Amino acid sequence: MEKLISVNAVFARMTAGVVGALLLSTSAFAADPVAPSTKFDLLGWTLSVPVDEDGNGKADQIKEKQLNSGYVSAEFFYLNEDDGIVFKAPIVGAKTSKNTSYTRSELRGMIRRGDTSHSTKGVTGNNWVFSTAPAADKAAAGGVDGTMDATLAVNHVTTTGKDYQVGRVVIGQIHANHNEPVRIYYRKLPGNSKGSIYYAHEPVKNKEVWVEMIGSKSNSASDPSDGIALNEKFSYRINVEGNTLTVSIMRPGKPDVVRSTDMSKSGYDQGGKYMYFKAGVYNQNKSGKADDYVQATFYDLAVSYNK
């Protein structure tokens, strides 16, 4: 797996075994909002923000080259004084599609790195597949199997709304054509001092599988003794090898928390199933006060593939 490298090194490189899209920060601070691309390589990503400045009725999508050339949102996407990328999504805002109920400020992995000859949809050089996919799909895809590593802190979660929605935010995903092989949730209830971590695995046809990692996903969960507080840095890793999905949570001075899910009956080894990583904040509350919000700061982010 490709490691994070300094901003003085080449940000993206292709080798025989790995294609990586990398992010790593150094240091900067200014009174005006600072574009994350001043310290991070963003050419391997697009961004969705919960505003509709172009008036097309959907959340704005910032493409790779624009994102990597100084794009900044003073409210939803900027570099903070700790050299992390801040993502914010309020309860009320523009959505990415009519089928989406929640707002997001979220990156979407783009293996093509601005090469628009590769379509964003389908089994193309822009997306990846599982190594259990048909041989033709593996040959056509931009990557085979994949890993995403992130270091972040969740700064704020919603405190208003229905009990089954309050306090929850998705901080990392694998998205497929229409389903999500994994969504990692952070959730902190208003009366708790620490938050829980759990994930959902969504098969192509069957019901979602929920896996608790730290604390509980319950709407009335007690304060998790080994939970993660707001503004506490931690790391996660999403790894796919064939039909095995593994999610790990890493914290300094504590044992890693690791869970795996067998995807052999999930339907992602069929032809035409393509994947892409997502990272940021995907608000999971649509019932609270309009100005209530979720926010997280990402300090490191890296993706890699076996092709």
Give a yes or no: residue 22 inside a domain: no
CB 190 within 8 A of CB 289: no
Give a yes or no: residue 40 inside a domain: yes
Tokens of 247: 């999610």
Give a yes or no: residue 11 inside a domain: no
The count of structural domains within the chain is 1
- The domain containing residue 33 runs over which residues? 28-305
Give a yes or no: residue 155 inside a domain: yes
> Residue 288 is part of a domain; what is its CATH number?
2.60.120.200
CB 110 within 8 A of CB 21: yes
pTM: 0.90
Instruction: Note the pLDDT tens digit of each residue in 97-137.
Output: 877 889 999 999 999 999 999 999 999 999 999 999 999 99
CB 213 within 8 A of CB 257: yes
Give a yes or no: residue 227 inside a domain: yes
Give a yes or no: residue 124 inside a domain: yes
Instruction: Note the pLDDT tens digit of each residue in 156-165.
Output: 999 999 999 9
Give a yes or no: residue 116 inside a domain: yes
Give a yes or no: residue 297 inside a domain: yes
Instruction: Note the pLDDT tens digit of each residue in 262-286.
Output: 999 999 999 999 999 999 999 999 9
- Helices assigned H by DSSP within 75-226: 135-140
Q: How high is the pLDDT of residue 22? A: 39
